[in-house]
Chains A and B, each alone.
Chain A
Amino acid sequence: MSEVVVETKGLVRRVESGATMATIVNGIDLTVYKGEFLAITGPSGSGKSSLLYLIGLLDAPTEGEILICGQATSSMSNSERADMRLTKLGFVFQFHFLLPEFTALENVMLPMQTLGTLSMAEMHERGAKLLTSLGLGDQLNRMPSQLSGGQRQRVAIARALANDPAVIVADEPTGNLDTVSTDQVFAILRDVANSGRTVIVVTHDVSLAARADRRVNVVDGKISGIFVQEHGKAPAEQPSETAKA
C-alpha cells in the first residue's frame, strides 16, 4: 500500500450538552493514503463535520491520536497545530470564508504571506497560476462580492492549495452550489487527488460520494462501513473488515 498521510486511532470527541456529556465522535480508526480521495458520508448529526475538524486539527480530540504525515498531534501546542494547518492542511468549507476586503488573488496569497517563504512576485505568480488552473484566470482582481458562488468556492480551493498541503479537508464544499458548479468542484478535487494530494470530503450526497476512491459512512459518531469504489461508478457495497456495522 502507498504512504499513509492521515491516521486516526481511537478518536473520541465529547462535548458538554446541557448537564451531560455527549459523545459526538466515538472511537474512529481511519487510515487515509497519499493521493487518495476519501468521502465521508452519513446522516445529519452523525458526527461527520466533527470528525473532519479533528482531522483538520481545528479541534482537539478528547481521546485518541491523529497522525498527519506520520506526526502525532495530540500533544502539540496550539501554535504547533497552527503551523501544521498552515503547511500540511488546506480547508474548504460550505461557506467560502473569503476575506471581503481582498481580491481573489490576494485571498489566495494570504496563506503564502503568513508562511512567508516566497517573495511577493513568487506568491503573485503562484496565486495566479492556481486560480488560472481552476478556470479563474480572468477573475484574479475581482473582489469576492463580484464573484458567483461557484467561483468563490473555487477561489477557496485555490487558497486551500496555496501552501501546497498534503491534505485537503472539505466540509460540504458544494452544499451551497448548483449542479454545474458542484460538478466543477468535484472534478477539481478529483484532479487535486490525482496530483498526489490527499482529499477528504464530507458530503451527504451519495452520488457525489460515489466519485471518491473510498467512502466512509459514519453513524452516531462511529464508522458504520467503509466502501472501496471505482470512481465514476456506482458504489460497490463491499464492507471492509474494519467496518463496525
Chain B
Amino acid sequence: MRVPPVLFIAWAHVTNRLRQTFIGVIGVATGVGFTIMISGVMEGSQRQFVGTLIDAMPHITITDERLSVSLQPAEQVYGAAQRSNFTATEKRPGISNSNLVLGSLRNWLPGAITPSVKVTAMVYSGNARFGVTVTGIDPRQEETVSKLAKQIVAGELYGLSRGSNAVLLGQALATKIGARVGSTLTITPGTGAPVSASVAGIYKSGVREVDERRIYSLMRTAQMLAGQPDLVNEMRIQLNDAFVAPEVASRVQSQIGYRAIPWQEANADLLSSFKVQEKITSVIMAAMMLASTFAIYSIISTITNEKRNDIAIMKSLGMKEYFVQTIFIIEAAMIAVVGIPVGWLLGYLLCVGMTHIKYSNPITEGTLAIAIYYSPVHYIVVALITLACCLLSAFLPARKASRVHPVDIIRGAA
C-alpha cells in the first residue's frame, strides 16, 4: 500500500511534536467535552421541566370564556382581567350544553377530555387564610386526564366519593394549615355559604403553585360552593402527544366557541425563559469552540513557522501549493480526530459527574438531581462542528505557509 506523501509528512510533523500535539488534543477534547456536558445539562433540564409541567397540568384547558364571533381588541388585550372580573354578575357563565360539547369533542380528540368545575375560595387556618382554587372532578375520569392518582401521597383519590364534601389537598397547603387525612376544614367561596369538608387525601404534583393552591373535590361539592348546581366551567384535555396542544386547542376553540388554552401558552413566561437560557448556552458553547479552534490555530501556525525551510524545499522539489497546504490541514484533522473521542469520553464523564449534583428548583419543590439528556446527536453535532472549526482554523496558516516563496528561504538559509 502506498501512503500518500502528504499523510506521511503530516504524520511525521505531529508525531515529532508530541508536546504540542498533546496540547492540541487537550484543547480540542476540552472544547468537545464541555460542550457535550452543557448540551446534556441544558436539554436534560428543559426536558425534565417540560415533563413535570406536562404531567402536572392539563395539556389543554377549555375555559368558559366565550369567544364572540370576533374578539373585540380590548378583549384580546384585557381578556384575562375581564375573565376574573366575575363578582359583578355573581354568576359564573359556565360552559353551556357541556354534555353536547364533550360528546362532539370526544369524536375526534387524540386524547381524553373531562369536565370540571373551578371555584375560587378561601381556606382559614387560625388567623391565616389561604386563597385556593377548588377543582371539582370526576375521580373515575380523572385518571384519563391527569397523573393525580399517581401523585397521591396519603389517603386515596376515590376517597372523594366516600363521605360528604371530601377534598384532596396539595402537600404544601396541607403542611401550611396542618391538615392530615381525616382532618376537617372550612372552605369559604367568594360568594355563598362556607362548606365544611373532610380531607380524603394529600397529593404532591411537584409544581409549587399547584401544591399550594389547588384543592380537588367532587364536581358536586364545587358546584355547591359556586351556588350553581349544574355548573361546568372548565374542561381539561390530556393528549396522546402533548406537543400538538396548540394545533388541537385552536381547532377546539373554533369548533365550540370557548377559549382553549394549550399548556405552552399557559406557561409562556417559563418557556420564554428557556429562550434566554438557550442563547446563553450558545454563547458559552461558541466560547468553548473558540478555545479548541484557537489551540489548533496556534499549533498549526507554530508548525508552519518552524517548517518554512521544509516548505521551501518541498516546493522547490515540485510540490504544489495545495499539496503543501493539505499537509497542514491534515495535521489539524489528525489532532481533531484524536481530540474528539477524548472529548466524547470527557463529556460523558462530566455528564455522569453532574448527575451527582443536587439543586433546588424555584419552580418545583425540593431538590432535584441535575437531569442530563444523553443523545448521540450531541456527540455527532459537536464532533462535526469541532472538526469543521479545526480545519478552518488550520486553513489560514496552512495557506499562508503554502505561499512561502522558496527563493526567499533558500537565500536566507545559505
Contact = CB atoms under 8 A, between A and B. Distances in A.
Interface centre among B317, B323, B410 (most CB of A within 10 A): B317
A94 interface: yes
B368 interface: no
A172 interface: yes
Contacts of A159: 317
Contact of B414 (A83, A86, A89, A95): A95
B413 A95 contact: yes
Nearest to A123: B2
A213 B319 CA distance: 32
30 contacts: A56-B316, A58-B410, A82-B318, A86-B318, A86-B319, A87-B318, A89-B318, A91-B313, A93-B410, A93-B413, A94-B413, A95-B309, A95-B413, A97-B310, A97-B316, A99-B310, A99-B313, A100-B310, A101-B9, A102-B12, A110-B317, A111-B318, A113-B2, A113-B5, A114-B319, A114-B323, A120-B2, A171-B410, A171-B414, A175-B414
Contact of A79 (B9, B320, B411): B320
B414 A53 contact: no
Interface of B: 1-2, 4-5, 8-9, 12-13, 16, 309-310, 312-321, 323, 406-407, 410-411, 413-414
A113 B323 CA distance: 12
B317 A86 contact: yes
A118 B259 CA distance: 80
Contact of B317 (A95, A101, A111): A111
B318 A114 contact: yes
B3 to A, nearest CB: 8
A49 interface: yes
A85 B314 CA distance: 11
Interface centre among B310, B313, B323 (most CB of A within 10 A): B313
B310 A93 contact: no
Interface centre among B1, B13, B314 (most CB of A within 10 A): B314
Given A119-B2, A120-B2, A91 B316 contact: yes
Contacts of B318: 82-87, 89, 111, 114-115
Nearest to A56: B316
B2 to A, nearest CB: 5
Contacts of A110: 5, 314, 317
A205 interface: no
A113 B9 CA distance: 11
A191 interface: no
Which 6 residue pairs of A and B lie closest in terms of their CB atoms, listed nearest first? Answer: A86-B318, A101-B12, A97-B313, A113-B5, A85-B318, A95-B413
A130 B5 CA distance: 20
A203 to B, nearest CB: 13
A78 interface: yes
Contacts of A101: 9, 12-13, 16
A179 B101 CA distance: 110
B316 A85 contact: yes
Interface centre among B4, B321, B323, B406 (most CB of A within 10 A): B406
A125 interface: no
A85 B406 CA distance: 12
Interface centre among A53, A83, A99, A115 (most CB of B within 10 A): A99
Contact of A58 (B5, B310, B407): B407
